[in-house]
Amino acid sequence: MKALGVAALGLLALSADGPQVFRTAVDGVRVDVLVSENRRSVRGLTAANFVLRDRGVVQVIDSVSFEDVPVSVMLVLDTSSSVRGTALTHLRQAASAVVDRLTPADRAALMTFNGAVSLDCDWTSDRRRLQDAIGRVDAGGATALHDAAYAALMLRDPSPGRPLVLVFSDAADTASWLPGARVIELVQRHDAVVYGVTLRGAETRPLGYLADFTSGIQAHPENVAAGAFKESFIERLAGESGGSVFLAEESGELRAAFERIVAEFRSRYVITYMPRGVEAAGWHPLQVSLKGRSGRVTARRGYLR
């Protein structure tokens, strides 16, 4: 299970007609996969253990890597007025714990949002800088969650680490210009894995993010499938990327949730393959399963080219 070199992955080849973020230098695809059993990560798997279908067609897996690639963590923290007081202290502690868990090769950045979005610390491996920026975080204002998630995906680390976007928000969006659907479209083109953390009782909206009457750009609700209205923005964002959402009962649990996310992300496999037998353009639903052993596989739902 030797990791594939980052240079060989190529990563993020961007075409003139948009960010085709899954395309490697040789049009390969990289899929970040979590395998778990009884809520514990399963280690020691090789390419022979995986079956990957792209648009229903079984693909030949070129490589599977595990833990060897540095990570690039974008911390995206809701600092709207509802996070004032003790919750803010706990949030700072949680973010700080993530920085403490970085290895020297890892990098991180800190983004906060209320009605606007702020990059409080650009990509760096300097932990001191990150900790200082976390210490300066303050709260107040509205919640531009969609715009913040969008900016976090767009401003990815130029270094070739595995991108993790860790989003904390305790409320539904109230102030974004972009509709959530636009961010979902972006994450489908992106190789980042998004993990969300919310607080119990956070979803104040009676419906999911597609019932959106507040963002600047609005679409007809008639254009959306009825069932889709149940899903919250963070759930959908994380689900599309192959990540997941952690629900903290109260803000004192944020630190444990953040630490668990970093640990889980480090225990994921990176599968690369060259798509064969499928049309290149459009939506590629992905299915990743195991052969020869049991376990639960979590991977992105697909990718858009």
257, two tokens: 């949730």
Residues 52-81 vs other proteins: string with x where CB under 8 A? Answer: ------------------------------
Q: Could you say which of 216, 277, 282, 285 contacts other proteins (CB under 8 A)?
A: 216
Interaction of residue 178 with other proteins, rule CB under 8 A: yes
The CA-to-CA distance between both ends of the chain, in Å, stands at 29
Question: CA-CA distance, 100 to 69, in Å (whole number)?
Answer: 18
If the CB atoms of residues 223 and 294 are measured against other proteins, the closer one turns out to be 223
Task: Number of residues interacting with other proteins: please give it, by CB under 8 A.
Answer: 51
Identify the residue among 11, 34, 144, 166 touching other proteins (CB under 8 A): 144
Q: How many CA atoms within 13 Å lie on the side-chain side of 228?
A: 15
- Our CB check for other proteins shows the closer of 110 and 299 to be 110
In whole angstroms, give the CA distance from residue 140 to residue 184.
26
From 106-114, 259-267, 276-284, 287-295, span contacting other proteins (CB under 8 A): 106-114
Amino acid at 41: S
**Do residues 278 and 29 lie in contact, with contact meaning Cβ atoms separated by under 8 Å?**
no
Q: In terms of C-beta density within 10 A (0-12 exposed, 13-18 middle, 19 or more buried), how is residue 229 classed?
A: middle
Look up residue 47 and give its DSSP letter.
G
- The C-alpha angle with vertex 65 and arms to 64 and 69, in degrees rounded to 5, equals 150
Q: Show the site string, 114-143: x = touches other proteins by CB under 8 A, - = not.
A: xxxxxxx-x------------------xx-
Smallest distance, Å, CB 100 to other proteins? 25
The answer to whether 175 and 115 are in contact (CB under 8 A) is: yes
**219 sits near other proteins (criterion: CB under 8 A):** yes
- Interacting residue with other proteins among 29, 45, 94, 151 (CB under 8 A): 151
Assess 160 for contact with other proteins (CB under 8 A). Answer: no
Question: What is the binding site for other proteins (CB under 8 A)?
Answer: 14-19, 111-120, 122, 141-142, 144, 147, 150-151, 154-155, 174-178, 182, 186, 205-207, 211, 213-214, 216-222, 224-227, 229-230
